[in-house]
Amino acid sequence: MVDKSVADLIQQLHNTHVDIQQEGAIRLIERGDSVVASVLACLADGNSDVRYLATWVLGEIGDKRAVEPLIEALRDSDARVQDWAAKALGEIGDERAIAPLVRILEDSPSAMTRRNAAAALGWLGNEDAISPLSKTLFDSDAEVRGISAEALGKLHANNAVESLVTLLSDDDEWVRIRTAHALGTIADSRATDALIKSLDDDNEWVRYNAALSLGEIDEINTQKAVPRLIEKLAHDGNINARRGIATALGRIGDEEALQSLKTALDNNTDDMVLEAIDRALQNLGYRVGS
């Protein structure tokens, strides 16, 4: 393959063929820091395709020289540029982006831009984002709600637990899945009852994540979950749900859980479930075959 100059690769971004545009962008990413100045100049290009591709390249390279120009790109007239500028700022991870990202999270009419802003704020890991992210748990767009829940989990936002608990009843299954997972990351005992209830959710991945999250909350507060987990281990018809339930029982642990896991070892044939049961038994001090 011919080693093209930076100018040639920049010119590829102007091509009308998507494959050629993306090849140019990928080759620029491979060049790393050395092309940042040239790519930054593309943020002022009159072609919105070029500006959008430039935000992607800058995010992948991750050079902090791009932070202020990308903040400016959040106000671009093209929604794709705004979307990818938000994503790029999260990938770079500079706290100068927090306030601008919060503004577009609160004000942007584009659901995609709000999604990327919420995700970026979670990646940035600053507690200043907790309050605005808590508000977007009630966004009209389901994916914004789910990503905001995920971001609050990454921020270990204990003061958002009550709002997150309400999302376990959301109409959208992916919102419930992400929320159940986030509550396990936060590991606040106030979520225990709601997570126990979610063991009966129609979606297998909600049940799986609810079980795992119960295993993350301190043992004293989740002992009440053990009888329900034992029942579900015996009767839930889904492999993935049973995997999560077995894992949770191995983390919470008591004599009754140990006995139910030993019984489940004989009553399950799926390798993934058996592996989860085996690990759970080992966590409780039991060795298979002993």
Each residue of 219-277: pLDDT tens digit?
666 688 999 999 999 999 999 999 999 999 998 877 888 888 988 888 888 899 999 99
168 lies in the same domain as 201: no
**Quick check: 169 and 138 in contact, CB under 8 A?**
no
Q: Is residue 167 part of a domain?
A: yes
Higher-scoring residue by pLDDT: 265, 170: 170
Q: Is residue 105 part of a domain?
A: no
How far apart, in whole angstroms, are the C-alpha atoms of residue 192 and residue 215? 10
pLDDT at res. 221 = 64
Q: Is residue 108 part of a domain?
A: no
50 lies in the same domain as 34: yes
Question: pLDDT of 107-150, one tens digit each?
Answer: 999 999 999 999 999 999 999 999 999 999 999 999 999 999 99
Question: Phi/psi at 214 (nearest 5 deg)?
Answer: -60, -35
Higher-scoring residue by pLDDT: 219, 195: 195
179 lies in the same domain as 199: no
174 lies in the same domain as 243: no
8 lies in the same domain as 43: yes
- Residue 239 sits in a domain whose CATH number is 1.25.10.10
**Cα–chain-centroid distance for residue 41?**
32
Q: Is residue 12 part of a domain?
A: yes
Q: Please give the single-letter amino acid code of residue 98.
A: I
Tell me which of 186, 213, 236 is where a domain ends.
186
Q: Where are the alpha helices (DSSP H) in 141-290?
A: 142-154, 161-167, 173-186, 192-197, 204-216, 219-222, 226-235, 239-252, 255-267, 271-283
Tell me which of 140, 169, 186 is where a domain ends.
186
194 lies in the same domain as 182: no
Q: Is residue 9 part of a domain?
A: yes
- The pTM score is 0.86
> Which residue range forms the structural domain that includes residue 139?
125-186
Q: Is residue 110 part of a domain?
A: no
